[in-house]
Amino acid sequence: MFLPPSNIHYIQTAGKNNLMDQAMNQEILEIHSKKILENGDFPKIQVVEKGGHWFALNNSQLELCRKLEKEGKCSKVKIDILPLNQIPIDIAKMMIVTDDIEPQYEKGSSNKGYHKLDQADGDTLQVKSDSTSATSEEECETYGTSSHSDVETDSECDWSVDGLDDEISDAESEASDSDTDTDEERSSGDERESLL
């Protein structure tokens, strides 16, 4: 079976690499990618399917294939699929879906319509909805009040600006005038009904 490298997830590792390790990894990737291209070898990755997502058992190999994919030299890789029950539990726990690729849906379903969200997708939605509260805080700062972590009421922000109060009072008076017009229309309608 063949898959694009961008459709395969990394296994989440415990630590972060420092800058020296990252520089060495880039150098190693360059060397290996040149060897693969010179030999004409087709890259091959061992993967496991968990929760409808593919995870590479070797992050370095996946990184190499993704680099080749970005360069346009490897659109798909051959994959060896290992059953999830043969993977140690500690490694299976590190198979967490992140935002590095789009989720893959089951065969036969299209990208249109509704799809059941994974837990990771729900967490992403929660983060996006939390970002809207930042807008309210920025608005408070714009109007000269201090920022609060949670803006609960309008009384915490001074929403008035010079001249804005006059515009609001004009709009309110126009609205009240239109309300009295509808009351007069209603009363004339009531009078018509009584005449009938």
In angstroms, how far is the first alpha carbon of the chain from the final one? 83
CA 64 to each of CA 33, 59, 75, 77, 146: distance values in angstroms, whole numbers, following the listed order: 7, 9, 12, 11, 49
Look at 69 and 128; give whichever has higher pLDDT.
Answer: 69
3-state SS, one letter per residue, for the chain = CEECHHHEECCCCCCCCCHHHHHHHHHHHHHHHHHHHHHCCCCEEEEEEECCEEEECCHHHHHHHHHHHHCCCCCCEEEEEECHHHCCHHHHHCCCCCCCCCCCCCCCCCCCCCCCCCHHHHHHHHHHHHCHHHHHHHHHHHCCCCCCCCCCCHHHCCCCCCCHHHHHHHHHHHHHHHHHHHHHHHHHHHHHHHHC
Indicate whether 151 pLDDT > 60. no
Name the pLDDT band for 172 (thresholds 50, 70, 90).
Answer: low
Q: How far apart are CA 145 and CA 157, in angstroms?
A: 6
Q: Is the pLDDT of residue 124 over 50?
A: no
Q: Which of 67-76, 110-119, 144-153 has the highest mean pLDDT?
A: 67-76
The predicted-structure confidence for 65-107, as pLDDT tens digits, reads as follows 888 888 888 888 889 999 999 999 998 998 988 765 544 444 4
Higher pLDDT, 3 or 18: 3
Highest mean pLDDT: which range of 20-34, 40-54, 112-126: 40-54
Question: What is the CATH topology of the domain spanning 2-105?
Answer: 3.90.1530
Question: 91 with 82: CB under 8 angstroms?
Answer: no
**Domain locations in the chain as residue ranges:** 2-105, 135-196
